[in-house]
A = this chain, B = another copy of it.
Amino acid sequence: MNRRVPDNALNLPTLADVARAAGVSTATVSRCLNSPSQVQESTRERVLAAVMALGYSPNFGARALAARRTGTIGAIIPTMENAIFARAIQAFQEELHLSGVTLLVASSSYSPQNEADQIRTLVARGADALLLIGHDRDPGIYAFLEQRGVPVLVSWAFDPAQARPAIGFDNRRAMAALAKEVLRLGHQRVGMISALAEGNDRARDRISGVRDALRDHGLDPTALHLIEIPYSIANGAEAMAKLMALPARPTAVICGNDVLAVGALQMARKLGLRVPADVSITGFDDIELATVVDPALTTVHVPHREMGREAARLLVAMVGGAGSPPPVCLETEFCPRGTLAAPSA
């Protein structure tokens, strides 16, 4: 018995089997599958018939080994649990699919350590390129990716100071625009509930945006009541309770994203506060959740789909050897709905 044939071997057909059945060389079969135009039609038909007849399907590992790429792009998002990233990732995947690329998604749970692990895992998994959220991470990671020759695209952030390929929006400016609307209505005591700023440039930029607006309105930016807390509805509610217990209660609470805002809204209701009559609340992202609550959330619309789709195009081009594209900045839009109004006198 041949030592190379374990008892449980499935003996799936190989390229060689197809070649034999079609009476051609393995190279021709390979070409039929990868660049059909190089093969004469009559031959191609014969080969494809053999492929069908044998139920052949290429071995992934062998193909990856020989071709030196896997046709896989990885994305690491902070969380899959809420919808913040879902829409963009869905669009990202759909667009990748058009190019025959498979998406591998991992989540970091907003932990830099975790993210670093996931990056290594995805690269080890043969990801040809990576989509990451935000610029903020250990420079060693960028060095590692560079050394391995893995192109990276940063999304969700646009920072002209960063030269690496990125597609995102200006979190700071977008949040400043929203905060300006809040202040324009006459709010003087403003609270903010943000994600943890540590290792999260989007959160940091949004905080800076609020401070910018305060400053522009002649208010003291350091007087902002800021609570940093991981994203979750429950955390948003908890933070809101704290803000509402303040001696000088804020009349408006700006939230770092819609998830926190929905939690805040829930808590306001629970505390018997009317929104927006007693307190205004704003979100950021414009996920579906924002329109489901009552009143619907005043927020900032982020073009998630467009970002996902364009990210896919850029990455496919980068894998194809297109070099580094310049950073792209998409526009966000202030989205007035039902949770923001002038403070009651």
Which residues of A pack against B, CB within 8 Å? 8, 10, 12, 55, 57-66, 68, 70, 72, 80-83, 86-87, 89-90, 93, 102, 104-107, 120-121, 123-126, 144, 147-149, 233, 262, 266, 269, 288-289, 291-294, 321
Among candidates B62, B83, B262, B266, residue contacting A61 with C-beta atoms closer than 8 Å = B62
Complex Cα distance A80/B126, Å?
23
The 8 closest A-B pairs by CB, nearest first: A61-B64, A60-B126, A61-B65, A10-B149, A62-B65, A61-B61, A65-B65, A80-B90
Residues of chain B lying within 8 A (CB to CB) of residue A148: 10, 12, 57
Among candidates B8, B80, B121, B321, residue contacting A89 with C-beta atoms closer than 8 Å = B80
Nearest Cβ distance between residue A291 and chain B, in whole angstroms? 8
Which residue of B is nearest A105, CB measured?
A: B105
Nearest Cβ distance between residue A63 and chain B, in whole angstroms? 7
Which residue of B is nearest A262, CB measured?
A: B292
Complex Cα distance A299/B286, Å?
26
Which residue of B is nearest A87, CB measured?
A: B81
Complex Cα distance A150/B112, Å?
35
B60/A63 in contact, CB under 8 A = no
B72/A81 in contact, CB under 8 A = no
Complex Cα distance A147/B13, Å?
11
Nearest Cβ distance between residue A318 and chain B, in whole angstroms? 14
Residues of chain B lying within 8 A (CB to CB) of residue A147: 55
Q: With contacts A90-B107, A148-B12 known, is A288 near B82, CB below 8 A?
A: yes
Nearest Cβ distance between residue A258 and chain B, in whole angstroms? 11
Complex Cα distance A277/B8, Å?
63
Among candidates B10, B55, B61, B102, residue contacting A121 with C-beta atoms closer than 8 Å = B102
Q: With contacts A64-B61, A120-B57 known, is A292 near B294, CB below 8 A?
A: no
Which residue of B is nearest A83, CB measured?
A: B83
B124/A58 in contact, CB under 8 A = yes
Complex Cα distance A114/B58, Å?
20
Residues of chain B lying within 8 A (CB to CB) of residue A262: 292
Residues of chain B lying within 8 A (CB to CB) of residue A90: 80-81, 107
Which residue of B is nearest A59, CB measured?
A: B65
Residues of chain B lying within 8 A (CB to CB) of residue A70: 60-61
Residues of chain B lying within 8 A (CB to CB) of residue A60: 61, 64, 70, 124-126
Complex Cα distance A70/B294, Å?
47
Complex Cα distance A93/B118, Å?
12
A233/B288 in contact, CB under 8 A = yes
Complex Cα distance A83/B294, Å?
20
Nearest Cβ distance between residue A129 and chain B, in whole angstroms? 14
Nearest Cβ distance between residue A296 and chain B, in whole angstroms? 10
Complex Cα distance A58/B64, Å?
13
Residues of chain B lying within 8 A (CB to CB) of residue A66: 61
Complex Cα distance A70/B93, Å?
21
